[in-house]
Chains A and B, each alone.
Chain A
Amino acid sequence: GEDVEQSLFLSVREGDSSVINCTYTDSSSTYLYWYKQEPGAGLQLLTYIFSNMDMKQDQRLTVLLNKKDKHLSLRIADTQTGDSAIYFCAESEASNTGKLIFGQGTTLQVKP
């Protein structure tokens, strides 16, 4: 079945760039997503990329998609302490039901 994998933890200094990586197995996914979860809160959509794109940039966020290697990354430029959260990668299931397959989440710790 489909599977999405992420590393569990990343620590960076304030002002540095953060890169969170994700690998997925379903090559027929239409969209790939990045969600952010702050402590005690629900999930907030940060950005998404359509499967026929290689890159998407949105202010401080850059998403890179390597379809050959089934690798997705999220780069956060000039990381701030407010970026500390859990980041989830997710892929849309090919059946077009809107179901999402989530990774385990990467905890980003930003040190001042």
Chain B
Amino acid sequence: NAGVTQTPKFQVLKTGQSMTLQCAQDMNHNSMYWYRQDPGMGLRLIYYSASEGTTDKGEVPNGYNVSRLNKREFSLRLESAAPSQTSVYFCASIGQAIEQYFGPGTRLTVT
């Protein structure tokens, strides 16, 4: 049971480049989430998916798109990266219980 996995762990992009952050969970959870963490601001929700086939915007969705590929996988795409998107990105999932399980994070730098 790997829990929540994220790839890549680190990434450096130039302004305007695109990339997809991958997230997968093997706990058969329905709901999955993408957060970004910035110093002094805690975690802010970008997008979430309550179940396979559905996605909804969170607090800070601008500049991002998501895909809930299947029950296991929830990807986050930056179409045209900007320096303001330099951050640590966390994926999380939750099943029937109340605990959210977090992945190890992807550290993204946009230059």
A residues within 8 Å of B by Cβ? 4, 8, 31, 35, 41-45, 48, 88, 90, 92, 97-100, 102-105
> Which chain B residues border A92 with CB–CB below 8 Å?
98
Residues of B within 8 Å of A, CB-based: how many? 24
What residue in chain B is nearest A31 (Cβ atoms)?
B98
Q: Is the CB of A8 within 8 A of B102?
A: no
Q: Is the CB of B40 within 8 A of A104?
A: yes
Q: Knowing A43-B102, A97-B48 touch, does A102 contact B43 (C-beta < 8 A)?
A: yes
| Partner of A98 from B33, B41, B105 at Cβ < 8 Å | B33
Q: Indicate whether B108 reaches chain A with its CB closer than 8 angstroms.
A: no
B residues within 8 Å of A by Cβ? 4, 31, 33, 35, 40-45, 48, 50, 56, 58, 90, 92, 94, 98-100, 102-105
Q: Knowing A42-B104, A88-B42, A104-B42 touch, does A99 contact B48 (C-beta < 8 A)?
A: yes
Distance between Cα atoms of A74 and B58 in the complex (Å): 27
Q: A41-B104, A42-B4 are in contact. List 12 more A-B contacts (CB 8 A).
A: A35-B102, A42-B103, A48-B98, A48-B99, A97-B31, A99-B45, A99-B48, A102-B42, A102-B44, A104-B40, A104-B41, A105-B42
Nearest-CB distance from A48 to chain B (Å)? 7
Q: Is the CB of A100 within 8 A of B100?
A: yes
> Which chain A residues border B50 with CB–CB below 8 Å?
97-98
| Partner of A99 from B4, B33, B98, B102 at Cβ < 8 Å | B33
**Interface pairs (15), CB distance under 8 Å:** A8-B40, A35-B102, A42-B4, A42-B103, A43-B43, A45-B100, A88-B43, A97-B31, A98-B48, A98-B100, A99-B33, A99-B58, A103-B42, A104-B41, A104-B42
